[in-house]
């Protein structure tokens, strides 16, 4: 299994473990990164229009997340319903991650579980799109 995919899975497991420990706000951070790594993996393994990890890392600056998101979004737009699912779930999770990391807000167990579900939804959507290509 590619290391990025392992990182994605580990972050998802970490998100659940942090909830089990009562660290709900920190868990959201892991849920977000789990989906982010799965997006990088999606770009790397895209059968017709891939971007390898080295080229992805060339955008390893403040705008790297925006770059990865935009590249993935362009590759899923042909399927309107999946594209909407991906966009809405990612944007909500990204905003939640920002609140979790930078604001003084505390997340509840329920909110953190929803973040895990959003991360899973993103990964499911990307997997389904890859299957159809």
Partner 1 sequence: MNIKTYITNWMQKMIIDYPWICFKYEYSSKRKIHYIGVYPQTEVETNEAYCKDENLFAIDLESKYPEQIVLFGSDESFYKFTDNANCFSGCLDKTNVNFYELNEELNAFLYDMDAISKVIEKSSNNPDYPLALAA
Q: Which of 26, 111, 124, 128 binds partner 1 (CB under 8 A)?
A: 111
The verdict on 83 binding partner 1 (CB under 8 A) reads: yes
Could you tell me which stretch among 5-13, 17-25, 53-61, 91-99 binds partner 1 (CB under 8 A)? Answer: 91-99
Q: Which residues contact 29 (CB under 8 A, 6 or more apart)?
A: 97, 100, 101
What is the closest distance, in whole angstroms, from the C-beta atom of residue 13 to partner 1 in the complex?
22
Q: Which of 64, 114, 124, 128 binds partner 1 (CB under 8 A)?
A: 114
How far CA 55 is from CA of 4, 35, 40, 116, in Å, comes to 14, 19, 11, 28
**Which residue, 12 or 93, is less far from partner 1 as judged by CB?**
93
DSSP 17-33: HHHHTT-HHHHHHHHHH
Sites for partner 1 among residues 11-50 (CB under 8 A): none
DSSP 84-97: HHHHHHHHHHHHHH
Half-sphere exposure of 48 (CA within 13 A, CB side): 9
Residues that bind partner 1 (CB under 8 A): 77, 80-81, 83-85, 87-88, 91-92, 95, 99, 103, 110-111, 114
């Amino acid at each position: 299994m590619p290391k990025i995919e392992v990182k994605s899975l580990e972050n998802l497991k970490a998100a659940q473990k942090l909830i089990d420990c009562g660290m709900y706000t920190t868990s959201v951070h892991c849920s977000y990164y789990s989906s982010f790594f799965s997006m990088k993996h999606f770009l790397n393994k895209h059968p017709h229009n891939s971007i390898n990890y080295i080229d992805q890392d060339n955008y390893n600056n403040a705008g790297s997340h925006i770059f990865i998101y935009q590249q993935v979004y362009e590759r899923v737009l042909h399927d309107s319903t999946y594209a909407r699912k991906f966009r809405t779930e990612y944007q909500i999770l990204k905003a939640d991650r920002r609140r979790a990391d930078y604001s003084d807000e505390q997340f509840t167990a329920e909110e953190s579980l929803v973040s895990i579900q959003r991360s899973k939804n993103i990964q499911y959507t990307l997997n389904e799109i890859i299957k159809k290509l």
